[in-house]
Structure 1
Amino acid sequence: MIETSALGVAYPGRAPVLRDLTLRVDAGERVLLLGPSGSGKSTLLRVLAGVVPQLVDADVSGRVLVAGQDATTTDPATLARDVGTLTQNPADQLCLPSVEEEVAFPLENRAWPRERIEQAVAHALARVGATHLRHRRTAELSGGEGQRVALAATLAAAPELLLLDEPTALLDPAAAREVGRLLRPAGGAQVLVEHRLDEVVDLPDRTVVLDDDGRLVADGPTREVLHDEAGRWHALGVRLPGAPWTARATRRTTAGSTAAGSRDVGTRTTRVLRARGLGVRRGGRDVLMGVDLDVHAGRVTAVVGLNGSGKSTLLLALAGLLPYTGGVEGGSVGLVFQQPEQQFLTRTVADEVAWGPRRARMPDPEGLARRALAAAALEHLADHDPFRLSGGQQRRLSVAAAAVCGHDVLLADEPTFGQDGRTTAATVALLRSLADEGRGLVVVTHDLALVADLADDLVVLADGRVLAHGPAADLLSAAPHGPLRTAGLVPADDHAQAHA
Structure 2
Amino acid sequence: MDDLIRTEQLTVTYPGAPAPRLRQVSIAVGQDERVLLLGPSGAGKSTLLRTLAGVVPQTVEAQVTGQLQVCAADPRSTPVPQLAAQVATLTQDPADQLCLPTVAEEVAFALENRAAPAEEIGQRVAAALQAVGAGHLAGRRTSELSGGEGQRVALAAALVARPRLLLLDEPTALLDPAGARSIGTLLAGLPGSSLLIEHRLDELGTLPERCVLFDGAGTVLVDGPSREVLTWPEVAGTGTWLPATAELTRVLGRPVSGAQVGGALAELAERSPRPNPRPPGPVLLTAGETEVRRGERTVLTGVDLELRAGQITAVLGANGSGKSSLLLGLAGLLPATGISGRARAGMVFQNPEHQFLARSVAEEIGYGLPAGSSVEPVLARYGLAGFADADPFRLSGGQQRRLSLAAMTVMDDEVLLADEPTFGQDRRTAAGIGAELARLADEGRAVVLVSHDLRLVAALADQVLLLAGGRPVAAGSVDQVLVPDVLARAGLHLPPLLAAWPGPLGAARGVLALLEHEAAPAQVAA
TM range (shorter): over 0.9
Q: Distance in 2 between matches of 1:310 and 1:97?
A: 21
Count of residues in correspondence between the two structures? 484
What residue is the counterpart of 2:512 in the other structure? none
What residue is the counterpart of 1:343 in the other structure? 355
Q: What do the CA deviations read for 1:236-257 (whole angstroms, capped 9, x no partner)?
A: 1100112799979987799554
Q: CA deviation at 1:234?
A: 1.4
Work out which of the residue numbers 92, 96, 101 in structure 1 matches 2:96.
Answer: 92
Pairwise mapping of residues 222-261 of structure 1 onto structure 2 (< 5 A)?
A: 222-227=226-231, 229=232, 231-242=233-244, 255-258=272-275
In structure 1, runs of 5+ residues without a counterpart are none
Q: Distance in 2 between matches of 1:4 and 1:395?
A: 30
Q: CA deviation at 1:495?
A: 6.4
Work out which of the residue numbers 437, 446, 468 in structure 1 matches 2:443.
Answer: 437
Q: Scaled by the length of structure 2, what TM-score is found?
A: 0.88
Q: Distance in 2 between matches of 1:145 and 1:467?
A: 21
Work out which of the residue numbers 16, 19, 29 in structure 1 matches 2:33.
Answer: 29
Q: What do the CA deviations read for 1:367-386 (whole angstroms, capped 9, x no partner)?
A: xx322221111112111111
Q: Distance in 2 between matches of 1:286 and 1:102?
A: 25
Q: CA deviation at 1:273?
A: 1.2
Pairwise mapping of residues 111-130 of structure 1 onto structure 2 (< 5 A)?
A: 111-130=115-134
Q: CA deviation at 1:284?
A: 4.1
Query: Residues 19 and 213 of structure 1 are in contact (CA less than 8 Å); yes or no, is this contact kept in structure 2?
Result: yes
Residues 1:286 and 2:298 are matched in the alignment: yes
Query: What code does the residue aligned with 2:86 have?
Result: D
Q: Distance in 2 between matches of 1:427 and 1:382?
A: 19
In structure 2, runs of 5+ residues without a counterpart are 249-260, 504-526
55 and 185 in structure 1: CA distance in 2 versus 1, 3 angstrom threshold: same
Q: Distance in 2 between matches of 1:54 and 1:269?
A: 53
Query: Residues 11 and 64 of structure 2 are in contact (CA less than 8 Å); yes or no, is this contact kept in structure 1?
Result: yes
Pairwise mapping of residues 270-281 of structure 1 onto structure 2 (< 5 A)?
A: 270-281=282-293
Query: Residues 20 and 215 of structure 1 are in contact (CA less than 8 Å); yes or no, is this contact kept in structure 2?
Result: yes
What residue is the counterpart of 2:136 in the other structure? 132
Work out which of the residue numbers 417, 422, 435 in structure 1 matches 2:423.
Answer: 417
Query: Residues 275 and 292 of structure 1 are in contact (CA less than 8 Å); yes or no, is this contact kept in structure 2?
Result: yes
Query: What code does the residue aligned with 2:182 have?
Result: E
Q: What do the CA deviations read for 1:173-230 (whole angstroms, capped 9, x no partner)?
A: 1100110000011211000000111111010000001111111111111101111x1x
Q: CA deviation at 1:308?
A: 0.2
Residues 1:66 and 2:74 are matched in the alignment: no
What residue is the counterpart of 2:213 in the other structure? 209
Query: What code does the residue aligned with 2:281 have?
Result: T
Residues 1:331 and 2:343 are matched in the alignment: yes
Residues 1:319 and 2:325 are matched in the alignment: no
What residue is the counterpart of 1:263 in the other structure? 277
Residues 1:488 and 2:500 are matched in the alignment: no
Q: What do the CA deviations read for 1:348-381 (whole angstroms, capped 9, x no partner)?
A: 1111111122xxxx36432xx3222211111121
252 and 461 in structure 1: CA distance in 2 versus 1, 3 angstrom threshold: farther
Q: CA deviation at 1:285?
A: 3.1
Query: What code does the residue aligned with 1:396 have?
Result: R
Q: Distance in 1 between matches of 2:474 and 2:417?
A: 19
Q: CA deviation at 1:494?
A: 8.2
Work out which of the residue numbers 350, 363, 373 in structure 2 matches 1:365.
Answer: 373
Query: Residues 318 and 328 of structure 1 are in contact (CA less than 8 Å); yes or no, is this contact kept in structure 2?
Result: no
Work out which of the residue numbers 428, 434, 437 in structure 2 matches 1:428.
Answer: 434
Moved more, 130-139 or 464-473: 464-473
Query: Residues 330 and 339 of structure 2 are in contact (CA less than 8 Å); yes or no, is this contact kept in structure 1?
Result: no
Q: In structure 2, the residue corresponding to 1:347 is in which secondary structure?
A: coil
What residue is the counterpart of 2:58 in the other structure? 54
Q: In structure 2, the residue corresponding to 1:466 is in which secondary structure?
A: strand
Query: Residues 25 and 219 of structure 2 are in contact (CA less than 8 Å); yes or no, is this contact kept in structure 1?
Result: yes
Q: What do the CA deviations read for 1:301-320 (whole angstroms, capped 9, x no partner)?
A: 11110000000000000000
Query: Residues 302 and 443 of structure 1 are in contact (CA less than 8 Å); yes or no, is this contact kept in structure 2?
Result: yes
Query: What code does the residue aligned with 1:13 have?
Result: G
Work out which of the residue numbers 405, 411, 414 in structure 2 matches 1:405.
Answer: 411
493 and 426 in structure 1: CA distance in 2 versus 1, 3 angstrom threshold: closer
Query: Residues 244 and 496 of structure 2 are in contact (CA less than 8 Å); yes or no, is this contact kept in structure 1?
Result: no
Residues 1:5 and 2:32 are matched in the alignment: no
Q: CA deviation at 1:263?
A: 1.6
Q: CA deviation at 1:497?
A: 4.8
Q: Distance in 2 between matches of 1:498 and 1:116?
A: 49
Q: CA deviation at 1:330?
A: 3.4
Q: Distance in 1 between matches of 2:499 and 2:389?
A: 48
What residue is the counterpart of 1:154 in the other structure? 158
364 and 298 in structure 1: CA distance in 2 versus 1, 3 angstrom threshold: farther
Query: Residues 7 and 21 of structure 1 are in contact (CA less than 8 Å); yes or no, is this contact kept in structure 2?
Result: yes
Q: Distance in 1 between matches of 2:270 and 2:461?
A: 11
Q: Distance in 1 between matches of 2:425 and 2:455?
A: 13
Query: Residues 174 and 491 of structure 1 are in contact (CA less than 8 Å); yes or no, is this contact kept in structure 2?
Result: no
Q: Scaled by the length of structure 1, what TM-score is found?
A: 0.93
Across the aligned residues of Structure 1 and Structure 2, the Cα RMSD in angstroms comes to 2.2
Q: In structure 2, the residue corresponding to 1:126 is in which secondary structure?
A: helix
Q: What do the CA deviations read for 1:424-461 (whole angstroms, capped 9, x no partner)?
A: 11111111111111000000001111112221211111
What residue is the counterpart of 2:520 in the other structure? none
Q: Distance in 2 between matches of 1:382 and 1:453?
A: 31
Q: Distance in 2 between matches of 1:486 and 1:494?
A: 21
Query: What code does the residue aligned with 1:301 have?
Result: T
Query: What code does the residue aligned with 2:243 have?
Result: P
Which stretches of structure 1, 4 residues or more, deviate above 4 A after TM superposition?
243-256, 491-500
What residue is the counterpart of 2:195 in the other structure? 191
Query: Residues 252 and 453 of structure 1 are in contact (CA less than 8 Å); yes or no, is this contact kept in structure 2?
Result: no
498 and 109 in structure 1: CA distance in 2 versus 1, 3 angstrom threshold: farther
Query: What code does the residue aligned with 1:53 have?
Result: P
Q: In structure 1, the residue corresponding to 2:203 is in which secondary structure?
A: coil
Residues 1:375 and 2:389 are matched in the alignment: no
Q: Distance in 2 between matches of 1:325 and 1:278?
A: 5
Query: What code does the residue aligned with 1:263 have?
Result: P
